[in-house]
Amino acid sequence: MKTLLQSGSMSEELVIEDTHLAGVMQPDYSTGFAVLTDQQILQAIDTPIGCGRLEDRVSPASQITIVVDDATRPTPSAKILAILLDKLDGLGVQKAQTRIHIATGLHRDPTEAEIERILGTKVLGDYTFSINDARNAETNTFVGTVGSKEIHVNSVVAGADLVITIGMVKSHAFAGFTGGAKSILPGCSSRRTIHENHCFSNIEYPNSCLGSCELSTSRQEMEAAARLIDPFIINVVLDADKNIIFASSGDVIAAHRAAVEFYEPIASQEIEGFIDIAFISGGLVGGINFYQALFGFNVVKTTKRPILKHKGIVILYAECSEGSGSALFEQKMSEFDTPEEILDNLENGESYDDQWAVQFLATVVRDMNVYVVSSGISPEVARKLKIRRFDTAAEAYAEAVAQSPKDYRVGLIENPDVLVLNRSV
């Protein structure tokens, strides 16, 4: 089989022998889904699930904060914002009383070009916006507790009469799926609150599970924290071309699960038995940096029924134009000689920024052999991250074949948003 691998500006044709190909996996849109019109998106906003309509929750005096995803998500926020803001205008809400907040969590701030793409030119000119500043305690407000953990959320969000979040649903490494409560925690939360949610025990598999909100302890904490804010959410599902094919609104859990219920059958694929080599395209986030591309490993590592053999080989094809994405990530991965030492330090030490990435990569390199094809990762950075770097997919694949048994099986994962399950387990 010949396939075209793409990530960012990288592309390469690769031939995988049909006799060794166990399956080609990506979300299945083959049944055809109509792209929603603006009127249909508005209809979804007007028929919320699990809570009252916006008409019942706002007044001309309401102070409203609208939370949108940052540049690491392909959420069509500008399109949804235009529809939502027209709706609020019709309800008498003034522009001066509406603020838009970009939910970066602990990610980097978006660039000017990214901000324009996220908000849209007209919205950018007409409305005040802010960017989450998790590391500045003065910008955050205590809103309550979840168990023994204090929840601190950006004051722009905590002080609003109504918070409306705009997000998208796809699979997620340790929260099961994106969307829903993630717009609040980690999106709009303080550094300490994010650290406590992304702690070692929450991230460690199987407490974190790709494709299951119910098995994810971090997701349960996120949703309890979001209840303290009680946002009205708008969540969408996108097709392969990033068009909206489903939209739901309303309660932070009920409306989110409606989107999950729509998305999960599209994303879920099964494969018979274990594979020796997994070839994974890094997708959109893989074009940005390795920190984000890590999510690709979850397809074979943290599902309910993983498909890769223990100590199998994963080849990640990801441009990573911004390199690793975190100097701290590089530093922490290189402080110890073995992944076991890294994990022991994390389990018994204090939480820090990017800990989830260090923990997850250490677990991955402990349990499998990691090859990365990337123009953005230098040989020096690859050594720090304890991964093997290759210039081309052909070179990585040839090495993987040489290290595998003669009857090796390859799984080609063309989109890391797929949920792959082992039918034999």
* pLDDT value of residue 119: 97
54 φ, ψ to 5°?
Answer: -60, -35
User: 333 in helix, strand or coil?
Assistant: helix
Whole-model pTM? 0.92
14 φ, ψ to 5°?
Answer: -135, 140
* pLDDT value of residue 416: 87
* pLDDT value of residue 354: 87
Q: What angle do CA 285, 374, 183 make, to 5 degrees?
A: 15
Structure tokens that stand for 129 in this block: 């916006």
Answer whether 401's CB lies under 8 Å from 277's CB.
yes
What is the sign of the dihedral through the CA atoms of 12, 17, 20 and 21? positive
* pLDDT value of residue 173: 85
* pLDDT value of residue 423: 94
* pLDDT value of residue 392: 97
CA distances (Å), origin 37, targets 34, 40, 88, 184, 247: 9, 5, 19, 27, 11
68/250 Cα distance (integer angstroms)? 16
Specify the pairing of strand 2-7 against strand 10-15.
antiparallel
β-pair partners for 403: none
* pLDDT value of residue 95: 95
Q: Torsion angle of alpha carbons 48, 54, 56, 61, nearest 10°?
A: 160
Q: Which H/E stretch holds residue 154?
A: strand 149-154
Encode the chain (425 residues) as per-residue pLDDT tens digits.
999 999 999 999 999 999 999 999 999 998 889 999 999 999 999 999 999 999 999 999 999 999 999 998 999 999 999 999 999 999 999 999 999 999 999 999 999 999 999 999 999 999 999 999 999 999 999 999 999 999 999 999 999 999 999 999 999 988 999 999 999 999 999 999 999 999 999 999 999 899 999 999 999 999 999 999 999 999 999 999 999 999 999 999 999 999 999 999 999 999 999 999 999 987 777 788 998 898 889 899 889 899 999 999 999 999 999 999 999 999 999 999 999 999 999 999 888 888 989 999 999 999 999 999 999 999 999 999 999 999 999 999 999 999 999 999 999 999 888 999 999 98
* pLDDT value of residue 295: 85
